[in-house]
Amino acid sequence: MPKTPVEFDDKSTKVVLDSILTPIMIESEPTWDAGDEIHPVSPGELIDFGKGDRGEMEVGENTGRTEEVFTIQLGAFIFDKNLDRVRDGVSTLGYSPYIKEINREIIMYCPIIGRHLNKKEAEALIITLNSEDFDSVSIKGKAGLFDVASGLFYYEEDAKASLKRLEELGYNAEIEGRKVEVTLKRLRIGSYYDIEDAKRDMNALVEKGFTPIIVNKEQ
């Protein structure tokens, strides 16, 4: 089914990436820690999410009951399909996850196919690309031109994979980096006054193959 084109401005691109923008070629996406620094996550099933230092404590040495309320964060996601995979996995363990959103500006890579003066021409190309299993978006470029992209990708190598598919189908395209304001969906569980309780649940999740961290609930 054709997807609705999404328009961007020609400065700092603003868009909330939801399911209609989830590129088919995306195999992985970034997650953020308590300070919202980028930490890539490897693709795969829940068991492959990787143990290690992301399962270690990332808060101070406070112990015991405090005025601070802690929560366990399982990742910060752009794309719904990745969030749903983790949420479904942790729900099967009896937890009730919730989402806290935050906006961030990041660089996304777009395989651009043509620039069009006519908006209808751009929309027609999008419909064609969608029929060929691309998740296309309309980008309003400079001087009133409408660029068409075969998707938005956090990792440049994923954009290159999409570009290769386009070239195999006979399209001329090039990759451009664009600033995009995205809504990060931070998946969390629990409210803890005692950090030892949070550490206990965090360690249990690490044993199940998740990569949780403990953060202040107000962050």
Residues 99 and 196 in one domain: yes
For 104-163, write each residue's pLDDT tens digit.
Answer: 888 989 999 988 888 899 999 999 998 998 887 777 777 888 989 988 888 899 999 999
Q: Residue 159 carries which DSSP code?
A: H
Please report the sign of the dihedral spanned by the C-alpha atoms of residue 102, residue 107, residue 112, residue 116: positive
Q: Considering its fold, how many domains does the chain have in total?
A: 2
- Domain at 81, CATH number: 3.30.70.1070
pLDDT tens-place string over residues 69-93? 999 999 988 888 889 999 999 999 9
Residue 169 lies in a domain: yes
- Looking at the fold, whether 167 and 200 belong to one and the same domain comes out as no
Range of the domain at 115: 107-179
Q: HSE (CB half, 13 Å, CA atoms) of 131?
A: 6
User: Do 70 and 119 sit in the same domain of this protein?
Assistant: no
Over residues 22-54, the pLDDT tens digits come to 332 333 444 443 333 333 332 222 222 233 333
pLDDT of residue 199: 95
Residue 103 confidence class, pLDDT cut points 50, 70, 90: very high
